[in-house]
Structure 1
Amino acid sequence: MRYLLFALLCLAGTAHAAPAKAYLTLIIDDLGQSPARDTRTLALPGPVTLAIMPDTPHATAFARQAHKAGKTVILHMPMDPATGPYAWHPDTPLPELEQRLGAALAKVPYASGINNHMGSRMTAQPLPMAWLMAELQRRHLFFVDSRTSAATVAAAKAQEQGLASLSRDVFLDDVRTPEAIAGQLRIAVELARRQGSAVLIGHPYPQTLEVLERELPRLKAQGIEWVEIHQMIALRSNQAMAAHGAGGRYRASAGGQ
């Protein structure tokens, strides 16, 4: 009986054990505005994904520079409440949304995918989000749901289409102090250990870059594998994490930051 209890305890421990490996992917948003900040971001060690805004003065030049440096480039697509010539709004007809998407992609050459800039209103719109995911599938691009709203349906629509996609787990720098940013990075590390992976989004603020320059080289010693975004897409296989859905399926409306 004693050995049976021991065996059951061992099995219970195994069932709740942390994943064997922990993976992390990092995206930096809002690039293309400042050559100094862009260059400093580009110099970060490892596979940083660079999300470039189309309506910035250096978008095209920086996309080419980043691609030449071997980095993954994505389009940081403005969505309502963002404004500007490329921004998507709920009342905009689909042909105009298509034109704006094409124009934005032309401004950010070598983009492998897109993520939403802002978009708390737009990503809650089922019809245009479904159209977008079908169009990205046609263009062989992936999608990252930045999850700027609790009402987002973007990831759910991507999953319905079978589109290669990810959802953000942690924002690094809602609070722009080195202490808060370092704390968010620790949260991401613990989340990666608990669920096997974490997708982080940050911005090229001086405080964020300062923390990343110091902490990214230490990840491996903490047992964290920092991987390129395409590898993270393959690892997750379009499955939702527990915070975003149940049984690997995204909820049509889920919590965000």
Structure 2
Amino acid sequence: MPSNWNALFIAWAVSLIIVIGGGLMFELTYTPPSPQQVAKDAASAEPQHADTTTPPDEDEGYTADTGPSGLEDSNEAPDTTANDVPAASQAVDEPQPSNSGPAQQDPETGMSTPAQTAPASAPQIAISGTLRVEADPALLEQSNQGPLPKIAEDGRKPFNVYAAPAPRNDTKHRIAIVVTDMGMRARNTRHAIAELPQEVTFAFSPYASNLIEWGEEARRTGHEVLVMVPMEPENYPQNDPGPFTLLASSSTRENVNLLKSSLGRLTGYVGIINHMGSRFTAAADSLRPVLDELQRRGLMMVDSRASQYSRAVNMSRAIGLPSAYNNRYVDDNLAPDAISAELAELEQYAQTVGSAVGVAHNYPVTINAINRWAAGLEARGFILVPITAVADRQPPPR
């Protein structure tokens, strides 16, 4: 009997040694697959379905209920459904701000917050050397609303200092393209900066994050910069351009302070373009102090022509404020053929009067259409120019 127990004990001990030894050997010799290999294996195991559609979901401005949306009427942006408009929490989704730079004031709370610094995901593109990238300190006025543009003591103006060099060919008809809503979607902003010709002008929304750094990226690649200033539309507050909106019913002091709230969000720009504003730009008494403030700060006024009754350009010219105005919204219809047709119409207008301005959104389909159109522009007798190159060159708007 004892011999049987001894045999069983020896067999059990040998089995235990084999199991433990095998486990240790496996741990020592096994190398788990890398994440890249797992992804590669998964890709080879399952068919991939490419998404070939480009939904028009990038049009953002601001509404009181849903955050960014940017729709006023058929002249302001394409007709999109409510489900196509991202929520406010998704409007600025990629660059994350840090806590350096001059303080900026929240218009609703009155509290100062640090200005945002360069997004880690901002595009890294070769420097063109044609524009000053960083803002000139002599052209900045520090304020509770952020760094505001001003005329330097030696008389230099932001409109001149941050302008691109004069066009190399002064004999061709001039066309300027302003791409709006920059900064609201990091993906679209990055795409526009990387892909569009440097003569295209970028207009940044004051509601976007990291604007100072996005503006520097735009100028680094040769693009002139504007800041969008929200103004009251006819159907306000059903369409609400946001907390910075200039209202015809507000006092001059209130509107000038709100203007400064937009101006202080960005640096290094040549002027402003109104976002919406079909009611405000037609209200001469409300508009005049705003134009006076822009002139006092050495800027340019670009009228998006949200209304045919806008007084912005004629009043700007009367006080010597450099100005330009939109002749066509080129991507109200997002079909590529429709965008191409609008750009062709812009050419016809420029051929008739010498200079023209088109306003577009930073949709991928629009960026692609502008690139195709611009490739053969000079051969057709036109030249693409930044917005300052058409200042005061258009006939008075009708």
Give the alignment's TM-score, normalised by structure 1.
Answer: 0.81
Q: Secondary structure at the match of 2:270?
A: strand
Would you say the 8 A contact 1:23–1:192 is kept in 2? yes
Q: Which residue identity lines up with residue 296 of structure 2 in the other structure? A: R
Instruction: Return the offset for 1:58.
Output: 4.0
The one-letter amino acid paired with 2:282 is A
1:206 deviates by 2.0
**CA shift at 1:199, angstroms?**
0.8
Determine if contact 1:24/1:225 at 8 Å carries over to the other structure.
yes
- Paired with 1:202 and 1:180, the residues of 2 have a C-alpha distance of 13
Which residue identity does 2:276 align to in structure 1?
M
Partner AA of 2:388 in structure 1 = H
Q: Does 1:159 align with 2:317?
A: yes
Aligned partner of 2:358 in structure 1 is: 200
Partner of 2:177: 26
- Written as runs of structure 1 = structure 2, the 5 A alignment for 1:74-223 is 74-81=226-233, 82-223=240-381
Matched-pair contact (CA < 8 Å) for 2:256–2:289:
no
> Quick one: distance in 2 between partners of 1:224 and 1:215?
11
> Equivalent of 2:197, from 45, 61, 71?
45
Query: 1:28-57, CA deviations, whole angstroms, 9 ceiling, x for partnerless residues?
Result: 111111111111111211311110010123
What are the Cα deviations for residues 185-208 of structure 1, in whole angstroms up to 9, with x where unaligned?
Answer: 000111111211111111111221
**Residue 63 of structure 1: which of 206, 211, 215 is its match?**
215
1:240 is matched by which residue type in structure 2? P
Which secondary structure does the structure 1 equivalent of 2:362 belong to?
A: coil
8 A contact 1:27–1:201 mirrored in 2 = yes
Residue-by-residue CA offset, 1:89-130 (whole Å, 9 max, x unaligned): 111111111111112111121121001001111111101211
Match of 1:240 in 2: 395
**Aligned residues of 1:46 and 1:226 also touching (Cα < 8 A):** no
Q: Does 1:72 align with 2:224?
A: yes
2:264 and 2:216 mapped to 1: Cα distance? Answer: 12
In 2, are the aligned partners of 1:75 and 1:104 still within 8 Å (CA)? Answer: yes
Residue in 1 aligned with 2:206?
54
Superposition deviation, residue 24 in structure 1: 0.7
More strand by share: 1
CA contact (8 A) 1:55 1:85 kept: no
Distance 2:310 2:389 in 1: 24
Q: Distance in 1 between matches of 2:378 and 2:222?
A: 21
Asked whether the equivalents of residues 172 and 381 of structure 2 are also in contact (C-alpha less than 8 Å), the reply is: yes
Q: How many residues align?
A: 221
1:111 counterpart SS class: coil
**Could you give the per-residue CA deviations for residues 137-196 of structure 1, whole angstroms, max 9, x where no partner exists?**
100000011101122111121111111101111110111111110000000111111211
Q: Which has the higher contact order (CA 8 A, sep 6+)?
A: 1
One-letter amino acid matched to 1:61: E
For 1:41 and 1:51, how far apart are their aligned partners in 2? 11
Contact kept in structure 2, 1:123 and 1:153, CA below 8 Å: yes
Q: CA RMSD in A?
A: 1.5
Gaps of 5+ in 2: 1-170, 234-239
* Cα 1:111–1:46 shift into 2, 3 Å: closer
Aligned equivalent of 1:5: none
Q: Contact (CA 8 Å) 1:114, 1:142: kept in 2 or not?
A: yes
- Structure 1 unmatched runs, 5+: 1-19, 246-257
Q: Deviations over 1:38-93 (max 9, x none)?
A: 11111211311110010123433312221233321111111113432211111111
Higher-Rg structure is 2
SS of equivalent residue, structure 1 residue 215: helix
Whether the 8 Å contact between 1:75 and 1:113 is mirrored in structure 2 is: yes
Residue in structure 2 matched with residue 250 of structure 1 by the alignment: none
